[in-house]
Amino acid sequence: MKVLIALRFYASGSFQNIIADTFNIDKSTVSRTIHSVSNALVRRAPKFIKFPSGHVIEENKVKFNAVANFPNVLGLIDGTHVRIIAPSQHEEQFVNRKGYHSIKVQVIVNADLQFINIVAKRPGSSHYSRVLKERRVFMQLKQSNYDGYLLGDSGYPCKTFLLTPYLYPQTRQEIRFNRSHKVTKCAIERTIGQWKRRFHCLHSEIRLSPAIKCKVIISCGVLHNIAKKNNIPLNEDDLDDDLDDDMEEVENGMAGNGFHIKKSVTELHF
């Protein structure tokens, strides 16, 4: 029953009193249940959200290379904002550049649209480069423990292990680099979009403290990976939802660079 209550909350994003009425229980029971199940999922997160190793890395590189001939890619890195209500402490730190309160979430995904790293603990005003530097994977990549690199947008610093697009491509080679980079990186926008459509609690301003909301975000990441691994499809109703704001930004940016996006990556034209 606890698992069902938590899943209903993650999937619907409903107010806790509505879920309480649905299950004919007290609202306080719903609150305790969400905390309990979220804590359990966070404790198990390292089992389901982990950076690949061994032959899995090589298989991942092959899959990424098949998308747009971009070789040696370990994963894709990007961020998104998850709305929260204005917290009682340090409220101004949670206001992002779009003007609403949020948790800044940084994710790294593999070629199967699964999360291999999630950071969900910084307020909305934080910069992605700062979030990146706080992670153990940053140090591992910096020390060249992995043979390959991540692909990120221009919001990240260009490193030997993290490749970003040319801001002002001049040569034919630079234009081809940017094209391949953008087409390959579309997979992370699809992942974030599917993730938020599957778990509507990531859309709404749920009345939870930032600390608990961060645990809910990680919990939804774990459940997303389980769903992808078991080929659980999205609900048809969810497929009609609006695209995530981050996807809209990518479309606008690509259109500005001479690209045209249609409904899927397979219909991308230059």
For residues 122 and 219, membership in a common domain is answered with yes
Q: Which domain holds residue 251?
A: 49-267
Q: What is the mean pLDDT of residues 37-43?
A: 97
For residues 96 and 223, membership in a common domain is answered with yes
Q: How much of the chain exceeds pLDDT 70, in percent?
A: 83
Whether 101 and 91 have beta carbons less than 8 Å apart is answered as yes
For residues 103 and 9, membership in a common domain is answered with no
For residues 227 and 128, membership in a common domain is answered with yes
Taking the C-alpha atoms of residue 116 and residue 141, their distance in angstroms, rounded to an integer, is 14
Exposure string of 6-39, with b = 16+ CB inside 10 Å and e = fewer, is: bebbbbebbebeebbeeeeeeeebbbebbeebbe
User: Any long-range contacts for 128-135 (C-beta under 8 Å, 24+ apart)?
Assistant: 128/79, 128/104, 128/155, 128/156, 129/155, 129/156, 129/157, 131/79, 131/104, 131/106, 132/77, 132/106, 132/156, 132/162, 135/106
For residues 33 and 67, membership in a common domain is answered with no
> Would you state the pLDDT for residue 35?
95
Taking the C-alpha atoms of residue 231 and residue 213, their distance in angstroms, rounded to an integer, is 26
> Would you state the pLDDT for residue 205?
73
For residues 195 and 230, membership in a common domain is answered with yes
> Would you state the pLDDT for residue 237?
57
Model confidence band, residue 248 (pLDDT cutoffs 50, 70, 90): very low
pLDDT higher than threshold 70 for residue 64: yes
Strands 149-151 and 73-83, bridge-based pairing: parallel
Angle at 248 between CA 246 and CA 249, to 5 degrees: 65
Taking the C-alpha atoms of residue 183 and residue 151, their distance in angstroms, rounded to an integer, is 11
Q: How many domains does the chain have?
A: 2
Whether 22 and 8 have beta carbons less than 8 Å apart is answered as yes
For residues 174 and 247, membership in a common domain is answered with yes
Residue with the larger pLDDT of the pair 204 and 80: 80
Residue with the larger pLDDT of the pair 152 and 123: 152
Residue with the larger pLDDT of the pair 224 and 145: 224
Q: Which of 123, 153, 133 is nearest to 213 (CA)?
A: 123
Q: Which of 217, 223, 222 is nearest to 49 (CA)?
A: 222
Mean pLDDT of the chain: 83
> Would you state the pLDDT for residue 193?
94
For residues 28 and 90, membership in a common domain is answered with no
Strands 149-151 and 162-163, bridge-based pairing: parallel
pLDDT higher than threshold 50 for residue 23: yes
> Would you state the pLDDT for residue 235?
73
Count Cβ atoms within 10 A of the Cβ of residue 269 and give its class: 0-12 exposed, 13-18 middle, 19 or more buried: exposed
For residues 127 and 153, membership in a common domain is answered with yes
For residues 156 and 171, membership in a common domain is answered with yes
Strands 73-83 and 102-109, bridge-based pairing: antiparallel
Q: What is the mean pLDDT of residues 80-85?
A: 88
For residues 132 and 26, membership in a common domain is answered with no
Residue with the larger pLDDT of the pair 194 and 133: 194
For residues 18 and 57, membership in a common domain is answered with no
Residue with the larger pLDDT of the pair 88 and 54: 54
